[in-house]
Amino acid sequence: MNTIQRRVVGFQNRIARLGVAAVIGAGLLSSPAQAASNDKAWYDSFWPLGQRTGVVSLNKEYVRFKGVGDIPERPALLFEAGDIFLGVGNLYEGFEVPLTGAIWQPRLWAYMINRTALQTFDNATPGRIRDTEIANRMDLFVNLQLTGTDKILLNFRPTDNNEPGRFTKYAFEGSDDRFKNEFNLDLEAFFFEGDIGSLFPKIDVAGIKPIDFGFTVGRQSIVFQEGILITDTVDMFGLVRNNLTLKGYSNLRISGMYAWNRLDRSNRTSEADPDMFGLFTAIDGHVSTFNIDMIYVRDDDADGAYLGLSAIQRLGGISTAFRFNGSLALDNQTVGDGALLSVEVSHTVPGSDDIIYINPYLGIGNFTQAGREAVNGGPLGSLGIMFASPNLSLYGAEINPFTNDVVGFTMGYQAFWDNHNRNMILEFANKIDYDGRSFDSYALGFQVQQKINRFVQLTFESFFAVNTDGRDDSTGARFEIQVVY
């Protein structure tokens, strides 16, 4: 048996063992009550993996209206002043703003998302050893709500600096520094958004002028084409007009954007200050929702143009999304020319809420995103968990999520139990470099998420990837505690 044959056999054995372990884990996750309610043995009712829902019929018996004491109390936010979030009772009458005539009802809400992970990761990069660490990321939000449409939002990330190597953590291996302190008070987001008609009602007392434009200004996260075209935090001004009429379509939304700072390009750091102009269109048709997104980046001798097209619909009960994203270098030193074609296909498994999906893709040339934060995955990140980065310290995507003449697919199954309080994803993904300049990867992994109470969620995930052309195999596992409060 030659080297290639031994590698293939070894790969098959490893995949088989991981597959058996995942199936056993799925069986263990099924609740005892569910198993007892099934007339058939578990091996005779393997499909679907998750909790069976069946067909819900109308109740012929009287159901008493649930009042105070019957419905659980609303979980409180970290801080609330003024009318509480999703509260009941009379609202504060507010006050009229001089000159504009707007009625403001100020409410101040603060909430946080704290993520702490114990994780180990080896992506087989030459010269890099395994990273094992405990790392933390906290997103603290402060929201000043003025009206139903107008607000000011601040976002702090006090335990990291938005770079893979700059998270507050303790490293067991892979880092020279055992403890890394990245505490800060930097603003990750700070923006004001509103509606012109709501802010200046005196301009149109009769309510018939076309001034209902939404706008936003400040530092905020931008995501288009599911993050394939751009996923970044920039300083920007945006304007949007919704509910436009177009013959044959139910809705047309057009938005424009100009960004002047913090754009992270693949060949630049966030310290560069290129100008970005964007025009984004969404059209709701009878069957499909179409998106046409265009971005132009002006950056001295590194100008670039970017285009994203998508059609999202259900075809014969199957959810589908067809996407084309392209990048074009307008100067010699910009990132690259290329296109990424992707298809997302998913279907609900009959008798349950489980989802089965397959997402093929084809990268032609060197497609690059208009902007991408360093902690985020690449353009393939939205196609499956094997390409997605958890965005927490050095644990990256299981398979390299960047495209340069590559082809492949992700195929997975998501199962739900305990009224969606527990779910599991089993996924296989691959990436084949068809021009022969790099290596191929084949990965199998799983992710389990469990809700503990209203505030805590546990996540456990692991993967194993086989790489070709003499590159070592990749492995990783992580356990995360997420607190939302």
5 backbone dihedrals φ, ψ, rounded to 5°: -65, -40
3-state secondary structure of 102: coil
383 backbone dihedrals φ, ψ, rounded to 5°: -90, -10
Q: CA–CA separation, 394 vs 401, rounded Å?
A: 15
User: How many CA atoms, within 13 angstroms, populate the side-chain half-sphere of residue 419?
Assistant: 1
3-state secondary structure of 86: coil
Task: Please state, in angstroms and as integers, the Cα–Cα distance from residue 157 to each residue in 18, 90, 188, following that order.
Answer: 36, 35, 6
Q: CA–CA separation, 390 vs 380, rounded Å?
A: 14
pLDDT of residue 245: 85
pLDDT of residue 142: 98
pLDDT of residue 68: 76
- With b meaning 16 or more CB within 10 Å and e meaning fewer, what string describes 276-286? bebebebbeee
Does residue 158 contact residue 138 with C-beta atoms inside 8 Å?
A: yes
- Nearest Cα neighbor of 176 from 129, 135, 138 is 129
* DSSP strand pairing (422-433 vs 441-451): antiparallel
Tens digits of pLDDT across the chain (485 residues):
444 444 444 444 444 444 444 444 444 344 443 444 444 554 445 678 898 887 777 888 888 888 877 888 888 899 999 999 988 888 899 999 998 889 999 999 999 999 999 999 998 777 677 899 999 999 999 999 999 899 999 999 999 998 988 999 999 988 777 999 999 999 999 999 999 988 998 888 877 788 889 999 999 999 999 999 999 999 999 999 998 888 889 999 999 999 999 998 865 544 557 899 999 999 999 999 999 999 999 987 788 999 999 999 999 889 999 999 999 998 766 678 999 999 999 999 988 999 999 999 999 999 999 999 888 889 999 999 999 999 999 999 999 999 999 999 999 999 999 999 999 999 999 999 998 888 999 999 999 999 998 999 999 999 999 999 888 999 999 999 999 99
- Nearest Cα neighbor of 380 from 416, 425, 334, 338 is 338
pLDDT of residue 45: 59
pLDDT of residue 87: 84
> What does the DSSP 8-state code read for residue 392?
B
* Residue showing tokens 């939002």: 153
Q: CA–CA separation, 348 vs 354, rounded Å?
A: 6
- With b meaning 16 or more CB within 10 Å and e meaning fewer, what string describes 64-73? eeeeeeeeee
Count of beta carbons in the 10 Å neighbourhood of residue 427: 24
- Nearest Cα neighbor of 231 from 361, 324, 368 is 368
pLDDT of residue 31: 44
Q: CA–CA separation, 270 vs 376, rounded Å?
A: 14
- Nearest Cα neighbor of 423 from 336, 353, 350, 320 is 353
Beta strand spans in 375-440 (E): 406-417, 422-433
